[in-house]
Amino acid sequence: QGQLVESGGGLVQPGGSLRLSCAASSTIFKIYSMGWYRQAPGKQRELVATITTGGSTNYADSVKGRFVISRDAGKNTVYLQMNSLKPEDTAVYYCNAAGLVTYWGRGTQVTVSS
């Protein structure tokens, strides 16, 4: 079992919503800033959103106002609520924990298509 386990991807129509979850070990969750990245076919992996242990957030311009990152300390889980999805949001989404060591999840596919 990996240190970060994503879930929640799938196929959704344009304008729809999905919520991604990333379950982390308690040690990682307590001391690491966490985030979501995505990689579309033929493109480099890019930052989507990050959240610090204190709850400060940062978003890519392309998702501001549509996506919300949050963390639940009781569940050691980080969420990415994605609203008003567009076809260009189609990608594999990866959970990330950044600190002295960087951890990556295996990714979850999000496909936005009619």
Q: At residue 12, does pLDDT exceed 60?
A: yes
Is residue 48 a contact partner of residue 82, using CB atoms and an 8 Å limit? no
| 51-66 residue pLDDT tens | 999 999 999 999 999 9
β-partners of residue 109 are 92
pLDDT tens digit sequence for 78-90? 999 999 999 999 9
Sheet strand arrangement including 77-82? 4-7, 18-24, 77-82, 67-72
> Tell me: the pLDDT tens digits for 33-53?
999 999 999 999 999 999 999
